Amino acid sequence: MLNRRLLLCLALLAPALPLHAQEGGAPVIEIFHESACRPCGEWEAQLRANGFTVRRNEVVSVASTRRWLAVPENFASFVTARTGGYIIEGPVPPALIRQLLKEKPVALGLARAGTPAPAGQAELMFWGGRSAPFPAAP
């Protein structure tokens, strides 16, 4: 009975546990997307080309994954990821993810809607349903 309770508690806490930020020197990012998502594969290739270790998870519903990770719906995109204790919603450029991991702001994560995103489109840090622009490195 105790083992069952322990497993249940661990399963409920899993979304809150940070993913290891480094694996063999490379940042690890865990991606959740539906199987027929071609833009997701393109983003995954960009991440790998920029030195990330990608863990790919094909899911039945990205919306369910977002709810599991407690991502506010107003930041929803077609792909969800997590790295270093942050949620990445949408195809955020690898350079901004690295900046996020380096600066470690108090936020749930970064969001970017759409594909392809316009060059000047701002990424948003989000927490508790609110957001603020995430400044890009000069």
Q: How far apart are CA 106 and CA 38, in angstroms?
A: 32
Q: How far apart are CA 43 and CA 38, in angstroms?
A: 9
Q: How is residue 61 written in tokens?
A: 């519903």
Task: Give 68-95 pLDDT, tens digit per residue.
Answer: 888 888 888 889 999 999 999 989 999 9
Task: Give 24-82 pLDDT, tens digit per residue.
Answer: 678 999 999 988 888 888 999 999 999 999 999 999 888 999 998 888 888 888 899 99
pLDDT score of 135 more than 70: no
